[in-house]
Amino acid sequence: MHDSLQKAVTRVLQPLVRLLLRHGVSHAEFSNWAKQAYVTEASTSFGINDKAPTVSRIAIVTGINRKEVKRIRELPSAVDTGMSKHNRAIRVVTGWLQDADYCDSRKRPRVLSYGNPDDSFNQLVKRYGGDVPARAMLDELARVGTVELRDGNVKLLHKGYVPHESETALLELFSVSACDLLTTLDHNITHTDNKRLQMSVAYDRVSTKGLEYFKTLSADKAMALLRELDSELSPFDADQNPGQTHAGEHRVGLGVYLIEDVAEQSTIGSGNGSATQSDKEISDGE
């Protein structure tokens, strides 16, 4: 069991280490961050009888000495990543893409006017951005390269909230997406029932032509699916519907990602390219 866990975790860490090395983060610095994560997770999830764990309990669970646990727990709280701000930005852009009031006859996002409270961009933000001022939302969307302001008109540059111009925002989205996926995978490993949706499809001997075709096809179909799911889910969201009376408060959604990598040499042979059990993966984690 331990060997299987070690192999799995080492493989999961490789893309994370790639990111860290690219940003000049040493092993020693990462080790300190890992200690913080150990202490935080032990504090959150490893109490006894619903009671917060003591320093001694955390030391036992994590293997970190009590003095170090105490030091880490006394560190300042993590800085707010601003994900609430980005979530509001996502809702504004999604509304722009889906709401008929802000799309043309071909369901494409219109160029919106900005300035006065009654202008279309200001009304869009009021409808989907909660209490965020239109100017603040415009500045954020422009900062990350999602919109362009010209002559009092705002143009959407992408089919979604994609912060190309802000590495900080990209890293924040990276952390949320990776955490969401790993949390679901961990849930499915530790629960024999009530498993969460976990599906993928992949082939490992696809031609370059097939790769380019699939990238376009999957992007189009994924966008259509996510738009449909958004329209179905949004009526249950308290921010979108302040007057709703439904009980409970949950973070719910679905993530989609493209699988693309260079095939391992051992998988390349003289076959005719048809899918076989060895070179086709259809994963269903339910």
CA distance linking residue 144 with residue 167, whole number of Å: 9
pLDDT of residue 30: 94
Mean pLDDT (10-residue bins), the chain, 286 residues:
89 93 90 93 89 93 94 74 65 88 91 92 91 91 90 89 72 88 94 92 94 95 89 84 82 92 58 40 62
pLDDT of residue 255: 92
Question: Which distant-in-sequence residues (6+ apart) come within 8 Å of 94 by Cβ?
Answer: 128, 160, 161, 227, 230
pLDDT of residue 273: 39
pLDDT of residue 10: 94
pLDDT of residue 277: 36
pLDDT of residue 281: 56
∠ CA 120-125-126 to the nearest 5 degrees?
95
pLDDT of residue 278: 37
Question: Which distant-in-sequence residues (6+ apart) come within 8 Å of 284 by Cβ?
Answer: 198, 199
Q: Measure CA 118 to chain center.
A: 33
Structure tokens at 5: 């866990």
∠ CA 27-257-25 to the nearest 5 degrees?
15
Number of Cβ within 10 Å of residue 237's Cβ equals 15
Amino acid in the structure at residue 100 = A
